[in-house]
């Protein structure tokens, strides 16, 4: 089985910038894997996810999804991908049920299955009491949960999440994390960016750290921690801050830092 995602030598420049936003980035996500892509603000995380989702064209490099080259067979690749941006976007005049059924219909999910899945997801995320309200009345946290439901309703092979827990209270975050773990447990793959490092520490099977658009370390949390000064006592926050605050890290090739060496 091919990896769910292969990113190879990905490059993106923006006009007026003094360096590449993404600079020869290479990594992969295995089928059925939960992968966290971490980095400080401006590291290139969101730009990378937007290129993987097919919303932004790279200047160089390739993105391959489940063995399909995104640039050559865009629609085929996109059919197995769902993307949740950091700012939840909904059709405000629709109810949650209408929104989920619309998303399902756009991806050719059978109506009966769409209604069943919509009901299941709304119940799991605590939104069923609001199923007939218009989305324009929703808080940011409610909108975030509904967008996640919209991404999951067609059971994508690769789920791309940019700060998916922003705006969620503790209970809602737990519900969302349970859904993500269930998705991975059923064979789906997740790539996630987050500033909530304990989420990556507890949920991700592998972690990539980028700085200045380049991969500076990659591995399991145990592997990353083994290379940190704190050793077995280090938290992911300790490891992360050590990596991104090292002046030499941004100038080194990815294979020279961390367990990928």
Tallying the residues shown for the chain, one arrives at: 261
Query: What pLDDT was estimated at residue 228?
Result: 82
Mean pLDDT, contiguous 10-residue spans, the chain (261 residues): 94 92 97 96 95 96 97 95 90 94 93 94 94 93 93 96 88 91 95 92 95 95 87 88 72 39 29
Query: What pLDDT was estimated at residue 230?
Result: 76
- Cβ atoms of 255 and 261 within 8 Å: the answer is yes
Query: What pLDDT was estimated at residue 260?
Result: 35
Q: How does DSSP classify residue 26?
A: E
Query: What pLDDT was estimated at residue 233?
Result: 81
Give the CA dihedral 48, 170, 148, 239, nearest 10 degrees.
20
Q: Which two tokens stand for residue 247?
A: 């002046």
Distance of CA 147 to the CA centre of its chain: 13
Give the CA dihedral 117, 123, 126, 132, nearest 10 degrees.
80
- Work out the angle at residue 32's Cα, subtended by the Cα atoms of residues 3 and 204, and round it to the nearest 5 degrees: 105
Separation between Cα atoms, residue 231 and residue 152, nearest integer Å: 37
Q: Calculate the alpha carbon distances from 125 to 3, 131, 144, 145, 174 in Å.
A: 29, 11, 10, 7, 9
Query: What pLDDT was estimated at residue 249?
Result: 47
Among candidate residues 182, 177, 156, 155, the one with its CA nearest the CA of residue 165: 177
Query: What pLDDT was estimated at residue 250?
Result: 44
Region label for 250, one of left (φ > 0), alpha (ψ between -120 and 50) or beta (otherwise):
alpha
Report the predicted TM-score, pTM, of the whole model to 2 decimal places: 0.90
Query: What pLDDT was estimated at residue 86?
Result: 86
- Domain locations along the chain: 5-92+156-260
- Cβ atoms of 201 and 236 within 8 Å: the answer is yes
Fold annotation for 5-92+156-260:
Rossmann fold (3.40.50)
């Amino acid at each position: 089985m091919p990896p769910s995602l292969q990113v190879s030598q990905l490059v993106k420049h923006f006009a007026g910038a003094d360096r590449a936003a993404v600079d020869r980035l290479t990594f992969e996500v295995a089928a059925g894997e939960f992968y966290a892509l971490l980095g400080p603000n401006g590291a290139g995380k969101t730009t990378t996810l937007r290129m993987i989702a097919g919303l932004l064209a790279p200047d160089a490099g390739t993105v391959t999804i489940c063995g399909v080259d995104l640039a050559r067979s865009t629609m085929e690749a996109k059919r197995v991908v769902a993307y949740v941006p950091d700012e939840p976007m909904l059709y405000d005049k629709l109810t949650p049920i209408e929104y989920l059924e619309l998303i399902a219909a756009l991806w050719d999910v059978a109506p009966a299955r769409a209604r069943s899945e919509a009901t299941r997801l709304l119940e799991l995320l605590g939104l069923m009491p609001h199923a007939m309200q218009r989305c324009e009345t929703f808080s940011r946290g409610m909108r975030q949960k509904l967008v996640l439901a919209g991404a999951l309703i067609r059971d994508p092979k690769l789920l791309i999440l940019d700060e998916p827990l922003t705006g969620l209270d503790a209970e809602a975050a737990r519900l969302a994390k349970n859904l993500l773990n269930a998705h991975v447990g059923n064979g789906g793959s997740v790539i996630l960016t987050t500033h909530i490092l304990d989420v990556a520490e507890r949920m991700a099977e592998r972690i990539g750290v980028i700085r200045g658009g380049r991969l500076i370390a990659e591995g399991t949390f145990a592997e990353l921690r083994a290379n940190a000064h704190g050793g077995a006592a280090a938290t992911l926050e300790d490891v992360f801050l050590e990596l991104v605050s090292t002046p030499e890290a941004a100038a080194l090739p990815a294979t020279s830092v961390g367990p990928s060496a």
